[in-house]
Amino acid sequence: MRTLYLSQQGCWVTLKQEFLRVLSGRQELYTVPLPTLQQVLIFGYAQMTTQAIRACLVREIPIAYLSQTGYCYGRVMPLARGYRGLAQRQQAMAEQWRLQTAQQIVRAKLLNSRVLLMRQLRETPTASGAMVVNSLSHLAARALQTDRLEPLLGIEGIGAALYFPELGNCLRQEGFILLTRTRRPPTNPVNALLSFGYSVLWNHLFTLIELQDLHPYEGCLHRGNRQHAALVSDLLEEFRAPIIDSLMLSLINRRILDADQDFMYEKGGCFLNETGRKKFLKSFLERMSIKIKTQTGTQPFWDVLTQQVRQYKQCIFNPEQVYQPYQIR
């Protein structure tokens, strides 16, 4: 996966032959060859010329426009031509299949959170750690026994209420505290990091889902509406802990991020500033390129994401198959 991230404010992107040229004023910052590019993510204010946008459209390179804090306003995508039967199949999936898929997603989310905590607790045990770990595995088992969506969402909620404070206990740098998860807006640096991280990953997943021709607004666990791409949020769940939460921990505990220098406070919330965003994105990309062991061999995280989206698509064509979310180990 090759992505151009533009987080520097006020730069220009122009087309030159086979390249996108990124300029700041008159100075050329970088040239990115188009044929190997897969997507462009613009954080905040960077301009693309019509020629550059058109070249991306021709090559089916989606351009996502995000706020500096990672909220996605929208994307530029070429018109889909031809076959759109997949979306109809998605809409026609049986309630039972949806519930089953939602159960698997919640279960995997809880188990992944549990493994992340267990790894941390092995190094630095806490008083409440063992209880939380046990509760999470108990909840994961309960998730499969629900018969409706509401109790399943309840289980997910209880899991989150137990998980985040315990995740906060794993932080080992002054100035970083996590008591509960707050969002819209995030109120402290840790929540700002999580929100930004989830948002970046969410947008990547959205793009992958669209590239596979799946309908992003048609989900199982989250019920979509016209504003909410439910399937993206569904498939994000299994990756939250292994990718973003663990990255957050390592950035804080290895003192790569600084509570004073890398954050800013505005509009009643706390957000990463420009240096913070750059540090985060750099580490995020490193993490996504690390090769990890899965059932189908060793591969970078990027490919695991694509593989999960593909598997979901297979389940749509073959509803007897139960979706198997990504699980650590």
Partner 1 sequence: MLLYIVCYDTPSDKRRKKMADILEGYGKRVQYSVFECVLPLEQYQELKKRLRKRYKEGEDCIRFYPISQHTLTQVDLWGGPSLAQEPGSVII
Q: Which residues in this chain contact partner 1 in the complex, by CB under 8 A?
A: 1-8, 11, 17-19, 22, 29-30, 32-36, 278, 281-282, 285, 289
Q: Is 218 annotated as a binding residue?
A: no
Rg (CA), the chain: 20
User: How big is the CA angle at 186 (ends 185 and 188), to the nearest 5 degrees?
Assistant: 140
Q: Which two tokens stand for residue 258?
A: 């600084």
Q: Is 286 annotated as a binding residue?
A: no
Q: How far is the CB of 323 from partner 1 (least distance, A)?
A: 27
Name which of 32 and 328 has its Cβ closer to partner 1: 32
Q: Looking at 11-119, which runs of residues are DSSP E strands?
A: 11-16, 19-24, 27-33, 39-43, 46-48, 63-66, 72-76
Please answer whether residues 28 and 61 qualify as being in contact, where contact means their C-beta atoms are separated by less than 8 angstroms: no
Q: How far is the CB of 47 from partner 1 (least distance, A)?
A: 13
Residue 294: its H or E element: strand 291-294
Residue matched to tokens 């426009």: 65
Q: How far is the CB of 127 from partner 1 (least distance, A)?
A: 40
Residue matched to tokens 């996590």: 178
Q: How far is the CB of 38 from partner 1 (least distance, A)?
A: 9
Q: How far is the CB of 9 from partner 1 (least distance, A)?
A: 11
Name which of 9 and 145 has its Cβ closer to partner 1: 9
Q: Is 156 annotated as a binding residue?
A: yes
Distance in angstroms (rounded) separating the CA atoms of residues 284 and 140:
28
Name which of 2 and 254 has its Cβ closer to partner 1: 2
Name which of 36 and 296 has its Cβ closer to partner 1: 36
Name which of 18 and 266 has its Cβ closer to partner 1: 18
Q: Quick one: the chain helix, strand, coil %, rounded to 5? A: 50, 15, 35
Binding residues for Mn(2+): 156, 222, 237
Binding residue positions: 156, 222, 237
